[in-house]
Structure 1
Amino acid sequence: MNLDFALILTVLTLVTFVFWVIERFWRKRRQAEAEKPVEKTVEVVGSLFPILLIVLLFRSFLFEPFKIPSGSMIPTLWIGDFIVVNKYAYGLRLPVGNHRFMEIGDPERGDVAVFRYPVDPRINYIKRIIGLPGDTVTYRNKVLFINGEPVTQDSEGRWVGEGLNRNPPGTRPEKRLEHLGEEPHNIVIYPDRPDVETRTWTVPEGQYFVLGDNRDQSLDSRAWGFVSEDLLVGRAVRIWMHWDCSRGCVDWGRIGDRIQ
């Protein structure tokens, strides 16, 4: 069962706000007699309102933490990474319903974005923005073509990984530097795995085409289609923790790394 934490936090904030208002009303009418137990309860619950309001505003409009549960974004993001997502990069959105009420910016090609999974919006996914509205995207022989132009890749040798993020036994994945967008980024491909047939997608208006950097081990737009603008959550910007107890638990070397 997937719980909508934003909805829960919003409801709790509203409930404590009601108690906060009631407590302010009782404070004005309170006489010298001792407090009644019910008044004390109202005061305690109401005192949580400012804290919850700050958390709600920060999480909804500024930054939100996420944990990476799968290897679909290897080598950029590893299983066990805890990341910070910029919530205002793609506009300010209501905490419930995700409706954008203020436009600030739009995704750019190459962004690593968090979004609500189109098949089940209760689940958050993270992938790289490949195709923008109006783009034609082709995937052939493990190479991207954007509007007919190939995206250059440079081989950087084998990919091995560490701990939970080691490549499966018996495989020889390759690390490549892909020149997409303003900054190149690394991807992983499995040369020994045959490609499916060449496929081409035209990205509709208000939609985005996304891929995982672990190209042969990612469930992405090639399988379930496009991501609509109203499902975007924010842009991944930093790794603030990496936890993998198969190799010492905390990896201090990844903390603070910029996501590109």
Structure 2
Amino acid sequence: MSQHAAPAGRRSPRVAVLLSIVGAPLGHMYAGRARRGILLHVAMTLTALAALAASMEVQSRAPRIGFLLVIPLAWVVVLADAWRTAGRARADAPRRRYQRWWVYVVVWIGLAFVVQPAVYGAATSRWRAFKLGSRNMMPTLLPGDYVMARQNVAVPRGALATRADSTGAMYMSRIAAVAGDVVQMRRGDLLVNGRVVIRSPPFSPADDIQMPEFAWQSAHLAGVDTAGYRPTMFTWGPLKVPAGHVFVLGDNLPGSFDSRHFGFVRERLITGRVEWIYLSRDPATGEIRWPRIGRGVE
């Protein structure tokens, strides 16, 4: 007498959706369509990565926002399909071998500790998201701006870069000068190799005070007598950037903590280039600043 597997019973669409949230293929496994769940999970992951890559290549706001919306939309499609598949599952369908609680646990462990870290690692080696918490980059970036940055690329002079310090903490600064450049500031005008690259923003003469922490600069002066060197917030240099280093500045010169204070930054600590703002929320009110979303960062 042949033996038949017991029926799986009715499948709850709500349970299928919850399992898909825990791990995308799990909802379809519960509904008896494991292969469909795996294929959808792979398709969702590839779609999200492709949308993220495309958002870094376009130059206008609307396409960036459109590609950004593709990512949650792909996730919604998977959840909706899990709901639909579970609702259509026959109550008298035989229980499949993988429809066991311990199989779900094993699959979830594999997703959480193998698949997802591998995908995340591959993605963050090319793109990373950052939140700005300081006023260093005002008005280009505001506290509460969330940005996408392209990782492991050459960042040219003048671009906004992400950088790490010796502890691994991440910051954003503009690369004002690269190795071999001579950089200086005269009453707020930034000069690189003798050419004015940034005109002075309005500032109060009271802010242009002598800065004792700028004393490190004396060892890197180019053609200036160190004995009479008295650097101020907006007048210092000229400094010769050594090999393997860059000089970084914040756009908010009166309130920025940057290379003027702590010195040159090793090139290897520059991790990427900031590209665009994908979300912006006022840290005081929590309100979303809609006009900033999708803006490119120059």
Residues 190 and 200 of structure 2 are in contact (CA less than 8 Å); yes or no, is this contact kept in structure 1? no
Shift of 1:191: 4.6
- Corresponding position of 1:46: 110
**In structure 2, distance between residues paired with 1:34 and 1:253:** 49
- Corresponding position of 1:57: 122
What amino acid maps onto 2:170 in structure 1?
N
Shift of 1:241: 0.7
Q: Which ranges of structure 1 fall in alignment gaps of 5 or more residues?
A: 1-31, 91-105, 156-173, 175-188
Residues 131 and 146 of structure 2 are in contact (CA less than 8 Å); yes or no, is this contact kept in structure 1? yes
2:78 aligned with 1:78: no
What amino acid maps onto 1:79 in structure 2?
P
**In structure 2, distance between residues paired with 1:33 and 1:256:** 47
What amino acid maps onto 2:159 in structure 1?
D
Which structure has the bigger radius of gyration? 2
Residues 162 and 273 of structure 2 are in contact (CA less than 8 Å); yes or no, is this contact kept in structure 1? yes
Aligned residues, how many?
178
Structure-to-structure mapping, 1:217-232, within 5 angstroms: 217-232=255-270
What amino acid maps onto 1:73 in structure 2?
M
**Identity of aligned pairs, percent?**
30
- Corresponding position of 1:151: 197
Q: 1:66 aligns with which of 130, 134, 141?
A: 130
SS at match of 1:253: helix
- Corresponding position of 2:208: 194
Taking structure 1 as reference, are residues 125 and 245 closer, same or farther at Cα in structure 2, changes over 3 Å only?
A: closer
**In structure 2, distance between residues paired with 1:212 and 1:59:** 25
What amino acid maps onto 1:109 in structure 2?
R
SS at match of 1:222: helix
2:187 aligned with 1:141: yes
SS at match of 1:131: strand
Shift of 1:225: 0.9
> Which structure features the higher share of helix residues?
2
What amino acid maps onto 1:194 in structure 2?
D
Q: 2:156 aligns with which of 108, 128, 142?
A: 108
| CA deviation map 1:76-131 (0-9, x unaligned) | 0001100000114x2xxxxxxxxxxxxxxx221110000002xx432111110111
2:272 aligned with 1:207: no
Q: Which ranges of structure 2 fall in alignment gaps of 5 or more residues?
A: 1-95, 211-230
SS at match of 2:292: coil
